[in-house]
Amino acid sequence: MKEERISRRRLLCGGLAAASLGHPFLRLNAQPATASRDPFTLGVASGVPRADGFVLWTRLAPEPLQGGGMGDAPVEVRWEVADDEGFRRVVAKGSAIATAELAHSVHVEVQGLSPGRPYWYRFTVGGARSPIGRTRTTPTEDDGTQQPLRFAFASCQQYEQGYYAAYRDMAAQPLDFVVHLGDYIYESSWGSRHVRRHEGGTPTQLPEFRNRYALYKTDPHLQAAHAAFPWLVTWDDHEVANDYTSDMSPRTSDPAQFLAIRAAAYQAWYEHMPVPASMRPRGADALIYGHHRFGRMLDVLLTDGRQYRSHHACLSGRSASPLADCADRLAPQRSFFGAQQEAWLARELAAPPARWTVLAQPTLLAEADRKRGPEHGYWMDGWDGYAAARARLLDALAAHKARGGNALVASGDVHAFWAADLRRGDAQQGPVVATEFVGGAITSEGPSAASVANMLAKNPQLRYGRADRRGYTLATLDARGCSIEFRVADDEKTADSPVSPMARFSVELGAPGVHAEST
């Protein structure tokens, strides 16, 4: 067991060192564990930053792929926050109890810190000390510096289909925070040219979901990105089941059976994410959408696109994949976010805004006629299956010009990079009210080049599209505009693949629409 611990620490240290690229923080700063087993195999993370604090996370798991290996007893976990990497000035500390009920995870909600600055944190259990994480608080609204904000967004990281070189690159960037838009794990095995493999079959029970998260979180480059910045996280479908809507999925149409699966999946998601106790599920329900403000510069409206949405339109079978069109997809009662979340979003859009608004949501918002030839065909699991709900959202953006004119939509899910003009009314000729960027996929395979070319030809509102590369998106916001960079791995099948810019775009403050930049 001792040799396994040392081997893993060397592996993690090597992954973090490769990620550093001039950022010495990303060295593994943990002290050698004196306990018989390393409890910090899943790393550390922070999230949900505020002006006075953030959430700190870890999970004790000396045997991460065999249920954790912690037994049933509660364990005291000590934590420290310092305003220097060497922990000479500890500014907050305390302890939390890790219990078997939550897979020995802890979610520490730190308060009372100074705004707009970095902090370092670590955990200790017995004689074992965790790696050091770095995080930061958000600026206050009366912060007069108006410094630019830089963040990344990502999604879709099927473990078997590639290595996380994109996260190694992300961890080396000078970011303020990261947004993850869902498909953090995949419940199913699919795709080609696998370079790694899932342990076990498709999870439906809580222990199975816990092991699947643990498998993903043992990756050193994903750990490095979590340790480097605070994250905001939401989910899409693969955290539970492919293409699920509300209380059923194409695989499990019985609501009672599916909600039991959903309850287990939501519980495991909470146990592995740096989120506050307010997001802890109650059975099959969890409230995870919310508003996150970064001083005067940015509002992030983080949404939940799965839990409340109407069931798929047009399709009588159990698959959401065939392209279709029917009157039902236009029905006004159909909702993507659900009535309560729609009402919350309308209130947020009507409130006094920051300089920029980012609507973080799971999938391509722009209309996308996907069928080849003159006929129309739409993907019912996307926004085209909820056309009236999309119209209500774009109308709300248009009604509040101070918000809509400076609104960016950050999207995931479709395993491709897209840049789109979001138009009210006629998708091709109406006024542009917001700008959308779909951030690709960390590893998950995308559609064919022919499919992308067809979508670009039939949908001029889609200004850019590419699906043959894997990576993530960088965004920089300042008082004048926004710059977007799609960063991609040369080959996601290679662990040490270089990562570089593929395309760059800009958006002018108050003038929505995509402007391509040279790379």
pLDDT at 79: 98
Does one domain contain both 225 and 327? yes
Residue 176: inside a domain? yes
pLDDT tens digits along 257-293: 999 999 999 999 999 999 999 999 999 999 999 999 9
Total domain count, the chain? 2
Q: For the stretch 214-252, what's the b/e string if a residue is b when 16 or more beta carbons lie within 10 angstroms of its beta carbon?
A: bbbbbbbbbbbbbbbbbbbbbbbbbbbbbbbbbbbbbbb
Residue 189 bridge partners (DSSP): none
Length of the chain: 519
Q: How much of the chain exceeds pLDDT 90, in percent?
A: 87
Handedness of CA 246, 189, 162, 219 (dihedral sign): positive
472 vs 515: CA distance, rounded Å:
19
Does one domain contain both 383 and 448? yes
pLDDT tens digits along 387-398: 999 999 999 999
Averaged pLDDT, 43-56: 98
| CATH number of the structural domain spanning residue 493 | 3.60.21.70
Does one domain contain both 107 and 81? yes
Does one domain contain both 344 and 387? yes
Q: Over 60: is that where the pLDDT of 22 sits?
A: no
483: tokens are: 């710059």
Residue 143: inside a domain? no
Q: How confident is the model at residue 489 (pLDDT cuts 50, 70, 90)?
A: very high
Residue 209: inside a domain? yes
pLDDT at 492: 98
pLDDT at 262: 98
Averaged pLDDT, 444-449: 98
Averaged pLDDT, 149-167: 98
Mean pLDDT, rounded, of the chain: 92
Residue 144: inside a domain? no
Residue 141: inside a domain? no
| CATH number of the structural domain spanning residue 98 | 2.60.40.380
Of the residues 102, 136, 170, which one is the last residue of a structural domain?
A: 136
Q: Over 70: is that where the pLDDT of 256 sits?
A: yes
Does one domain contain both 71 and 196? no
pLDDT at 400: 87
Q: Over 60: is that where the pLDDT of 27 sits?
A: no
Strand 298-302 relative to strand 356-360: parallel, antiparallel, unpaired? parallel
pLDDT at 317: 66
Residue 243: inside a domain? yes
Q: How confident is the model at residue 144 (pLDDT cuts 50, 70, 90)?
A: low
Q: What count of other Cβ atoms lies within 10 Å of the Cβ of residue 17?
A: 15
Of the residues 72, 103, 136, which one is the last residue of a structural domain?
A: 136
pLDDT tens digits along 168-184: 999 999 999 999 999 99
pLDDT at 319: 73
**Of 45-59, 134-148, 430-444, which range is least confident?**
134-148
Averaged pLDDT, 148-152: 97
pLDDT at 5: 31
Residue 142: inside a domain? no
pLDDT at 195: 98
Q: Over 50: is that where the pLDDT of 10 sits?
A: no
pLDDT tens digits along 406-422: 999 999 999 999 999 99
pLDDT at 145: 67
**Of 17-21, 72-76, 136-140, 319-323, which range is least confident?**
17-21
Handedness of CA 433, 321, 163, 17 (dihedral sign): positive
Does one domain contain both 124 and 245? no
Q: Over 80: is that where the pLDDT of 19 sits?
A: no
Q: Over 50: is that where the pLDDT of 16 sits?
A: no
Q: How confident is the model at residue 59 (pLDDT cuts 50, 70, 90)?
A: very high
Per DSSP, the three-state class of 208 is helix
Does one domain contain both 164 and 113? no
Does one domain contain both 132 and 219? no
Q: Over 80: is that where the pLDDT of 36 sits?
A: no
Annotate 258-292 with three-state secondary structure. Answer: HHHHHHHHHHHHHHCCCCCHHHCCECCECCCCEEE
pLDDT tens digits along 82-118: 999 999 999 999 999 999 999 999 999 999 999 999 9
Q: Over 50: is that where the pLDDT of 2 sits?
A: no
Strand 133-136 relative to strand 105-110: parallel, antiparallel, unpaired? unpaired
59 is in which domain, residue-wise? 2-136
Residue 438: inside a domain? yes
pLDDT at 143: 74
Distances (CA, A) of 190 to 193, 213, 216: 10, 17, 16
Does one domain contain both 82 and 174? no
Tell me the pTM.
0.94
pLDDT at 142: 84
Does one domain contain both 364 and 487? yes
pLDDT at 21: 38
Q: Over 70: is that where the pLDDT of 32 sits?
A: no
Does one domain contain both 421 and 321? yes
Does one domain contain both 167 and 72? no
pLDDT at 402: 75
Q: Over 60: is that where the pLDDT of 30 sits?
A: no
Q: Identify the DSSP state of 140.
A: P
Q: How confident is the model at residue 146 (pLDDT cuts 50, 70, 90)?
A: confident
Q: How much of the chain exceeds pLDDT 70, in percent?
A: 92
**Of 14-18, 242-246, 481-485, which range is least confident?**
14-18
Of the residues 136, 171, 201, which one is the last residue of a structural domain?
A: 136
pLDDT tens digits along 191-212: 999 999 999 999 999 999 999 9
Backbone angles phi, psi at 133, to 5 degrees: -105, 155
pLDDT at 141: 87
Q: Over 90: is that where the pLDDT of 31 sits?
A: no
